[in-house]
Amino acid sequence: MTTGPGTFPGARYDAASATAPAGGTREAIVDALLRLAARRDFGATTITDIAREAGVSLADFRDAFPSKGAVLGAFLRRIDRKVLENPSRSYEDEPSRERLYHVLSHRLDALEPYRDAVLNIAEWAAKDPLSATALNREIVNSMRFMLEAADIDSEGPVGALKLQGLAHAWKKVLDAWREDRAGEHARALSALDRELSRGEKFVDRAEDLVRMTEPFFSLAQKLFDGAQRRSGRHSHHHHHEAEDDYEHHPHASA
């Protein structure tokens, strides 16, 4: 295993990745994408560029990933894993907001070796709405696991609001991170603290609204279910009447 051109600290480059097992090829492709993203316009970077940087053929790339966006998704899952496989128990008894703050600060630490690439990719996505939408789906999935790591529920309608709100907040954190010097997170962490405070208030209001409207939704569901049952019985009754009419029709045949 050797270090390739422009490799980030902690990122490994497999010079023989063209003949490496599938897992090694995938990792080499992810690392290649990150190296290129750190030093050039990500929007102008092609699959061929990434394959060449990784030392793999286009056929190997196709076996490993269907698209450039899929490689980004693999990178985000790599970061998710780094955060999830080293959970800290020191803040288990803290309020949910503090637990999430610690989890996301660890995420920033995990991203630090790839800082230039991450910020360039974020800048590219900000200029490309379609790519931003696709990337948002990946970020939402990552945030789902960050919430789980902080022991915060992400299910149901309020959970969906939490996920999308946290993905939006994370974008604000990355914007602030851009203003930090390399290796420092002061501005990013300040933005994280601020965004989590805003999000907490919004979620509290959303949960209050759900509690207030639950009885109405429950009543509406019961009325709907009752109407469905009555409609079913009515249809069944008319079905039998139609059969009787057919059986007694003068032209009916056996």
Q: For residue 217, give Cα distances in angstroms to 10, 188, 209, 225.
A: 52, 40, 12, 12
Mean pLDDT on 18-26: 66
Residues for the chain: how many in total? 254
Distance CA 105, CA 154 (A): 19
**Is the residue at 12 inside a domain?**
no
Mean pLDDT on 236-250: 53
My answer on whether 42 and 141 are in the same domain is no
pLDDT for res 84: 96
Nearest to 32 by CA among 66, 86, 68: 68
Nearest to 174 by CA among 43, 81, 79: 79
* CA max distance for the chain: 92
Distance CA 30, CA 37 (A): 11
Q: What is the CATH number of the domain that holds 27?
A: 1.10.10
Residue written as tokens 């803040």? Answer: 91
pLDDT digits (tens, 9 = 90+) for 81-94: 999 998 777 777 88
Count the neighbouring beta carbons within 10 Å of the beta carbon of residue 44: 9
Helix axes 68-84, 96-111, angle to 10 degrees: 120
My answer on whether 93 and 198 are in the same domain is yes
pLDDT digits (tens, 9 = 90+) for 66-121: 999 999 999 999 999 999 998 777 777 889 999 999 999 999 999 999 999 999 99
What pTM was computed for the model? Answer: 0.72
Domain with 43 in it: 17-66
pLDDT for res 14: 38
* Cross-strand partners of 2: 13
My answer on whether 103 and 162 are in the same domain is yes
Split into its structural domains, the chain has a count of 2
Q: Taking 60 as the threshold, does the pLDDT of residue 236 lie above it? A: no
- Residue 73 contacts residue 79 (beta carbons within 8 Å): no
pLDDT digits (tens, 9 = 90+) for 199-217: 777 665 555 444 555 555 4
Nearest to 81 by CA among 69, 89, 73, 91: 73
